[in-house]
Amino acid sequence: MFPPQESATQASMFGDFATETLFLFDGEVMIDSTATARALLASSPIKGPAWGQLMAFLSARFENLEAQLQRVPHDGVVELTTKQGAKPLILRAEHVGGLTRFTLIDASKDGHTAAVDALAQRAMLDELTLLRDTVATAPMLLWRENAAGDVVWANGPYLLQACAFQDEGKELGWPLPRLFNRVAAKSGKDQRQSLSVLGQPTLWFDISSKPEGDGDLMFAIPADAAVQAEGALRDFMQTLTKTFAQLPIGLAIFDRQRKLQLFNPALMDLTHLPPDFLSLRPSLLAVLDAMRDRKMLPEPKDYRDWRRQIVDIEKAAASGLYEETWSLPDGQTYRVTGRPHPNGALALLIEDISSEMLRTRRYRADLELGQSVIDHMDEAIAVFSQSGQLVMSNNSYAALWGHDPADTLGDTTVRMLSAHWRMQSAPSAIWAEVEEYVATVGDRDSWRGEVRLLDGRMIGCRFAPLAGGSTLASFRSLTPAEQGQTRLAEGAGLRRA
């Protein structure tokens, strides 16, 4: 931080040097200056103490300024010239009585010191040149309009666009041609307008205005990238809309405030909600309330509890954990899934699975019927899948072999059961052949065999292929008259064939 600049309250000691540019400093505190010096500091864009303003002005024009000024107390006098390419100036720094005096000399004035107008004007001209270069190369169109709407000033990019609209060989006239309508200036709001030149792509600009004096300062910022992005987004949304329109699953997307933002026709078909209601962007609770009024929700026993469940639905769906099956009063069945979307949005998917549930119920009924049928058979039945897993058995099997594998279906294999059969019967090679037969892939013939249980009963065994590579194994007790009728050797021959 520089010390605050001290203001002079008495006449300057530089009264005889009124036309020269002189500064007198005690350390970094300015204790006196000439009128031209004060004018130079007043034109500085830097705010703050005089030392900082002067150093900002000198550092831009003299090389190694700080290092050169450190020589002043030792050498007494140091003279510097401006950098190469800069306007010629001479800086004389003197150490006088413990104070530092700076003298600025305009070298283009034949060695005479610079007058107030010369140095102050030079500083202002340098800043003006910088501002002009900045405005001329700005990546936007700038122009000024008077109260009548005439374009009285424009920057380079504006003039370049104006030339494109001129006839070939014709120069720009005064006032400058207008490129845009005056809608933005009159409305006070930002506008988006386009420029079209024959044979060239259309250019888009975002136009804004700022009142200034008796006219307006106008800005036109290129918006081609924004227009292209909006067009791509619009096309993408149209593609999504067309895709969603063909989905048989109802889709509803709610924003972070849980307002409906997007839905498809399937949602109206499944919920019976009118399109005018959905177009009003109702909240999630309003949508569910309307569905409840139309009996499209499971009827709750307690309405307060139902409202609490709705809040739980929102929380679970926002975390991606909500998936539930709704059984409606009219017999329909819906699968409702909640999924989180970016920026806190929420998507609900409603799918009619009534036919799927009907097929599932029928399948289960068929399985129960088939199980009931084989449970009433006298033969002991066991069915194995192609991989050797037990998929079905009946009550007669449990009674014959002394165990019921129904509780472990899918986990019990033919190898496990054949081990149990070996333990319950006399030694026989038939069980090894059973394991090989179940594991055989391709065409197979059915075959029979006989084994004797440990309690002396003779059991007739029959093994036959089923659809899908499955295998049927049936067992029944043989009467004395039936014993010996089955030839194991013949069965073995069939198995080998």
State the chain's mean pLDDT as an integer.
80
What does the alpha-carbon distance between residue 440 and residue 469 come to, in Å, rounded to a whole number? 9
Task: Count CB-CB contacts under 10 A for residue 99.
Answer: 13
- pLDDT digits over 158-195, tens only? 888 877 777 666 666 666 788 888 775 566 677 888 88
Sheet holding 21-26, edge to edge: 29-33, 21-26, 99-106, 89-96, 77-81
Cβ contacts of 86 within 8 Å, gap of 6 or more: 61
Res. 301: pLDDT tops 70: no
Q: Rounded distance, CA 149 to CA 215, Å?
A: 8
pLDDT for 384-421, tens place per residue? Answer: 999 899 988 999 998 898 888 877 776 889 999 999 99
pLDDT at 320: 67
The set of long-range contacts for 126-130, using a CB threshold of 8 Å and a minimum separation of 24, is: 127/43, 127/45
Please check whether residue 388 is in contact with residue 413, taking contact to mean a CB–CB distance below 8 angstroms.
Answer: yes
Which pair of structure tokens corresponds to residue 448? 């029979």
Please tell me whether residue 338 adopts helix, strand or coil conformation: strand
Calculate mean pLDDT across residues 429-440. 92
Which has more pLDDT, 262 or 213?
A: 262
Instruction: Record the pTM.
Output: 0.44
pLDDT in tens, 101-141: 999 887 765 544 444 456 666 777 777 778 777 877 888 88
pLDDT at residue 296 in the model: 85
CB atoms within 10 A of CB 16: 8
341 vs 436, higher pLDDT: 436
Alpha-carbon gap, residue 47 to 121, rounded angstroms: 18
Interacting residues of 434 by C-beta distance below 8 A, sequence separation 6+: 414, 418, 461, 463, 473
State what percent of residues in the chain have pLDDT above 70.
Answer: 82
pLDDT digits (tens, 9 = 90+) for 315-327: 776 666 778 888 8
At 491 the pLDDT is: 45
Per-residue pLDDT, 112: 46
Residue 246 has pLDDT above 80, yes or no: yes
Question: For residue range 440-495, what is the model confidence (pLDDT) as tens digits?
Answer: 888 899 999 999 999 888 999 999 999 889 999 999 988 877 766 654 434 444 44
